[in-house]
Amino acid sequence: VLNYFEQRCQGSARLAEQAKAVIPGGVQHNLAFNYPFPLAIKEARGAHMTDVDGNRYIDFLQAGGPTLLGSNHPVVLERVKGLLDECGPTTGLLHEYEVKLAELVCQVMPGVDMLRMMGSGTEAVMGAIRLARAYSGKKRVIKIGGGYHGWSDQMVYGMRLPKTGRMEAIGIPRGATAATQESLPNDLEAIRRKLKWNRLRGGTAAVIVEPFGPESGTRPVTRNFNAALRKLCDEFDTLLIFDEVVTGFRAGMGGAQGYFGVTPDLTVLGKCLTGGYPMAGAIGGRRDIMMMLVGGIGTTTKRAFVGGTLTANPLSCAAGYFALQEMRRTDAAFKAGQAGDRMRNGLEQIIERLGLPYVAYNMGSIVHLQTSGVMLLDTSSLLKLARVKNEAKERKHMMEEMGAAYSAHGVITLAGSRIYTSLADSDEVIDDALNRFEDVLKLV
């Protein structure tokens, strides 16, 4: 399969080779985990992408999540073109679409009274944590192991693996993560213990979670986790931050907070927020907390500073406004979710037919295809930690081999293990893709 991939993608291979001289590793984005080189894409429209060699792919990478409407949606494109004609991408001043986008998000997201645009999900997480600290006067933040909240110093390290210790910690001074604590997925008791311990030492500013479970639900949350966490945070006077960078608008216009009926104090948005256009990031939340960005209600003291030259630029805001309007008009999250159900259903049948040790599950348009060992709902005992090690091996296999194999058969996934469906995925598209998945999985 890999030879086949190399043969039909020589244009990508050439560009990747050229890139190696000037770009570290030859590529900044290879979310599809294509080896031995990344695919170079020329055209993207709806459910499909075409590479520089003219090979056509069904796109379930969705640029890593933002293109819920399908790639390069024509309505959004036309509006963006009009805006660019008018004032170009940026002015450094207020623009009508900044207000319109904020109004729309405040209207649909239960936990968002006010919105501040940021440059990316990473920046929005940084801002939300800073706000939580400024508001509460407390320092510590609890996150969930295996959760991804961008690459800032304080958040980037992953689950503590046996022996290897922290992941991704190179270049990060110990002090930068001193106020970050990590808890295992779905372990409310462990979070309670940390909150209790912290209470005697200045308290906890916030607990930050991905509401579908760490790393976009790779380790799904148990049914009542979010509601119970909400209660726990209230009990300990700690702010609850939902990182809805992936789930925002993809889980429905109200995000995962709408889906679960659990309202966080602060919400981090990204990805779908600008419909795939640049500078996708925003902090939203309770009015009294958000007002800390200007120095607290009616004051100029205790201001939490955030910035960014291009944040809230007209291009990103207009793209976001028209993309969200289109998502709402078309009921995109629901329809993409139906495509996700069809995909998961089909994958389950393939897994069963072929007798594979895989598991497929979905939360609407977020479909996971994993080797079964990855399904760790409760990782509190040492025995289970040993399985985490096994999981790392399995994930590596999944990512490196399957990503390229699927692409060779015309399907692009996220790392061979995640499939984002979109509004553009008709039944025909899903069924076509399922045939291709089966062709690859037969070879496993």
Footprint on this chain of ligand PMP (rule: CB under 6 A): 64, 120-122, 125, 148-150, 210, 216, 243, 245-246, 270, 280-281
Q: Residue of minimal CB distance from ligand PMP?
A: 121
Which of 143, 194, 271, 335 is the catalytic position? Answer: 271
CB of 218 to ligand PMP, least distance (A): 11
User: What distance in Å separates the CA atoms of residue 16 and residue 109, rounded to the nearest whole number?
Assistant: 41
Nearer to ligand PMP, 64 or 264 (CB): 64
> Is 271 an annotated catalytic residue?
yes
Pairing of β 281-285 and β 114-117: antiparallel
Nearer to ligand PMP, 39 or 280 (CB): 280
Nearer to ligand PMP, 41 or 272 (CB): 272
How wide is the angle at C-alpha 111 spanned by C-alphas 107 and 114, nearest 5°?
65
CB of 220 to ligand PMP, least distance (A): 14
CB of 134 to ligand PMP, least distance (A): 20
> Is 148 an annotated catalytic residue?
yes
Which of 97, 148, 157, 277 is the catalytic position? Answer: 148
CB of 319 to ligand PMP, least distance (A): 15
Nearer to ligand PMP, 150 or 254 (CB): 150
Nearer to ligand PMP, 120 or 154 (CB): 120
Which of 51, 59, 187, 243 is the catalytic position? Answer: 243
> Is 243 an annotated catalytic residue?
yes
CB of 43 to ligand PMP, least distance (A): 24
Q: Which amino acid is at 415?
A: A
CB of 396 to ligand PMP, least distance (A): 19
Nearer to ligand PMP, 282 or 429 (CB): 282
Q: Which residue has the tokens 């293990």?
A: 417
Q: What are phi and psi of 159, to 5 degrees?
A: -65, 140
CB of 219 to ligand PMP, least distance (A): 13
User: What distance in Å separates the CA atoms of residue 127 and residue 206, rounded to the nearest whole number?
Assistant: 12
Nearer to ligand PMP, 149 or 409 (CB): 149
Question: What are the strands of the beta sheet with 41-45, ordered from one edge?
Answer: 41-45, 48-51, 56-59, 411-412
Q: What residues are annotated to the active site?
A: 148, 243, 271
